[in-house]
Structure 1
Amino acid sequence: MRHAKKPSTRRPATHRTSRAPARRVRLLGLVALAAVTALTLLMVYENGGTASSATGTGTGTGTGTGTDAHRRDATPRPQSSPSAPQSPPESTPPPSASATSSSTRGTNTFSTATASGKAVGKGTVRRYKVQVEHGTGLSVNGAAKEIDGILADPRGWTADGRNGFQLVSSGPYDFEVKIATPDTVDRICGAAGLHTRGEVNCDVGDQVIVNLKRWNTGSPQFSGPLHEYRALIINHEVGHRIGHGHETCPGPGRLAPAMMQQIDGLRGCRANAWPYDRHGTYLGGPSVA
């Protein structure tokens, strides 16, 4: 009698290679992930700590400290961020026909005006020369006559009854007014520790250094004629020479003092180039410490 075979207790054979492709896929995926991670870290390192594309940071225009620069303002201001909101500037007055140069670099040599004038004012009379840097395109005698007219104006410093001025071409003098290109202004003022950054003027030693850029283009904060802004430059710097410090706006709607750094903003005042009005009243404001 033939006995029926007992059912086998052995498990059917399985193909061990069936899982191998899946393992290889996972392994390749891990390798790829590791490669991407390494590449990302390399990009982070090369971009200075950020994986995003570099966007260059803007540098400040360096409008300086106002109409001029002084030793207490020697430390440059932090550079502005390109994303910082900017208030729209007022329109800059166009340069006059006699002021067409936009040079930033001159020769570091100067011509002295041969023009001279009569003494104006009372009290201490300060003699001054006018010089213009070669390469600016300005007439040195033309500039001297304009400055002479500013200092002789009845709204100027002679209205105080204690100060006078005289344009001279030779002999002893008390100070010089030099009109120079921005690079030369930076060099002269920087030697005294003043940071004009190619934008503003300075008063150093026996020199009033006028930035050609300001002389030719005025200021975005000053809406008057270019000649008036030139008067502000001269009155402000000469004001320092005769002992005046900085002042600020005396109140909304009033005329800004000539000793206010108006290029920094008018703070509610109206632009003004003169220390006195036509009636001899001083147009001052609170002192700035």
Structure 2
Amino acid sequence: MTGRSNAARTHRAPARRRPRAVAAVVLPALAAAVVCLLAGHGLPGTSGQAATPAAGAGKPEPHRAGRTSGASADGSTSVPESGPGTFTVARADAHRTGAGRPYRVEVEDDMGVAPDEAAEQIAAILDDERGWAHGAGVTFRQVADDSATLVIRIATPDTADAICATGGLDTEGELNCRVGRTVAVNLKRWQLGSPEFAGPPEEYRALIVNHEVGHWLGYDHRECPGPGQPAPVMMQQIKGLHGCVSNAWPYGADGSFLDGPKVP
């Protein structure tokens, strides 16, 4: 994998424990701590140093070679359904976004995504004027050590489900989530986008990052404010736009915050 010689290994993801319930919703008692489609718990891991598992973590299911899921419109893209459960930490010097809140990017091994390239895309999203850094409101800086207060992990669907299950969520192999300070980004969504989103996967990645980081910053889910209006970034757009227009950013081009009614 590109960039792995300059990257640090970190621990395994927790064992996949997918609940039987089909809805990926947060139990009321966990709503303040765990929000589906969000940013999350950081797990220890410093350059050149093995990290210890998070509380409750175990060994993931073995990698099931050959299992893939999802395809682009022309059928040319597929993603592995499961991976080894080990991650590579992106280098901290891939891109700088200021002297703000420290975050770390980790990518599951052997799934075709280069950690440093993914980190550069994430850094660009976090630094965008339409993002949470609008007006220097929130700034971020990428790190590769335990100082991270936010960890963004790109993982195969099975591994993402295992991470989300530690917070009581069933993400059904389809959704992203936030558990504590860890954001689990489902590889299927990272590579293929969403059929509900009118834009390329690259733009949908901005929605994933901005939505999850928004939860990490304390924002709750929102509903569509009205037909034809931009969907709030905190809206679960993958579940339908309800008359709104796809949107990946917290702020509009005019600098206005794109909000909507709070989900009851």
The TM-score normalised by the length of structure 2 is: 0.71
Give the equivalent residue in structure 1 for 2:3: none
Which runs of structure 2 are paired with 1:1-289 in the superposition (5 Å)?
Answer: 65=24, 70-72=26-28, 94=73, 100=77, 102-116=79-93, 117-120=95-98, 125-159=100-134, 161-170=136-145, 172-289=147-264
Higher Cα Rg: structure 1 or 2? 1
SS in structure 1 at match of 2:165: helix
Q: Which amino acid aligns with 1:195?
A: D
Provide the aligned length of Structure 1 versus Structure 2: 202
Which deviations, in whole Å up to 9, do the C-alpha atoms of 1:79-134 show, x marking residues without a partner?
xxxxxxxxxxxxx8659x9xx5510110010000014332348xxx2110100001
Give the Cα–Cα distance (whole angstroms) in 2 for the partners of residues 284 and 268 of structure 1. Answer: 15
Q: Which moved more, 1:155-164 or 1:279-288?
A: 155-164
CA–CA distance in structure 1, aligned partners of residues 96 and 199 of structure 2: 28
- The answer as to whether partners of 2:72 and 2:78 remain within 8 angstroms in 1 is no
Q: What is the one-letter code of the residue matched to 1:235?
A: N
Contact 2:26 2:169 in 1 (8 A): yes
The 3 A distance-change label for structure 1 pair 204 and 250 is same
Cα distance change, pair 148–94 in 1 and its aligned pair in 2 (3 A): farther
SS of alignment partner, residue 184 of structure 2: strand
| Superposition TM-score, scaled by structure 1 size | 0.65
Return the offset for 1:166: 1.1
Following superposition, the deviation at residue 206 of structure 1 comes to: 1.6
Match of 1:48 in 2: none
Which of 158-167 and 234-243 deviates more?
Answer: 158-167
Could you list the runs of 5+ residues in structure 1 that have no partner in the other structure?
A: 1-61, 75-91
Q: Structure with the greater relative contact order (CA < 8 A, sep ≥ 6): 1 or 2?
A: 2
Unaligned runs of 5+ in 2: 1-21, 35-70
